[in-house]
Amino acid sequence: MSDQGSFYQRDRGWHPPALTPQYKTSVLRAPRNALLSLPGTLSEMTGPVFGHDRLGPLDNDLIRNFVHTGEPIGQRIVVYGRVLDENARPVPGALIEVWQANAGGRYRHKKDAYLAALDPNFGGCGRILTDADGRYRFRTIKPGAYPWPNGVNDWRPAHIHFSIFGHAFAQRLITQMYFEGDPMIWQCPIVSTIPDKAAIEQLVAALDRNNTVPMDALAYKFDIVLRGRRSTLFENRLEGN
Ligand SMILES: [Fe+2]
């Protein structure tokens, strides 16, 4: 196969299994029958291709892209990194979409009824295209932790949701980024579905003092690997928690 043509199978020793009862909604979502393996088709191995003209100038700036009365409340951060393929080559032109809760842990979403207040100046959504070296960068507010209805008292650690379109539709990745040093990571029922501690650590963005913006924003580095033996793990749930 060409270098765009083949994709590795998902390694279930690295990615979480579909059925993880401590993550309650996985019980109904998990397939009950053996999976079928289908060969990739040309349309899955090429495109979609996105043009830069589809992105607005503030799409990569969640601090500014929803302002109404002023800037949002919370810790200002920069998130940056590279998107790489399974052979550690950069993936240029990949569309990254991010969404997250505000500093209080509340999403701007009609289904989110958490007590924490909405921030009138924070929308929580952004988009970025990787450059020729697979690099991306966006500014945002560090999200807060929030409770969710799973066990009696389960909380999600602070996290940012990522969706990445790589070179081909079969390289779509949906995952979550966590923050270095957060003790909530290791108490999360969703994170604990991941069998390998090294795979969890790959989802934790490192605080990078060398790329902080002095008197402005902290920086976190998060590299993403698409479809390969060491790929960033795939999250089965598309939205919400
Ligand atoms: Fe979430």
Q: Residue 221 carries which side chain, given as an amino acid letter?
A: K
The verdict on whether 161 is a catalytic residue reads yes
**Separation of CA 81 and ligand 1 centre (Å):** 20
Higher-confidence position of 76 and 94 = 76
- For 128, other C-beta atoms within 10 Å of its C-beta total 22
The pLDDT confidence band at residue 42, using thresholds 50, 70 and 90, is: confident
Q: Which of 174, 173, 141, 137 is nearest to 158 (CA)?
A: 141
Q: Quote the pTM value.
A: 0.89
- Determine which of 17-21, 171-175, 221-225 has the lowest per-residue pLDDT on average: 171-175
**3-class secondary-structure state, position 120:** coil
* Residue 47 in tokens: 């495109």
The fold of the 56-225 domain, in CATH, is Protocatechuate 3,4-Dioxygenase, subunit A (2.60.130)
**Separation of CA 107 and ligand 1 centre (Å):** 8
The verdict on whether 23 is a catalytic residue reads no
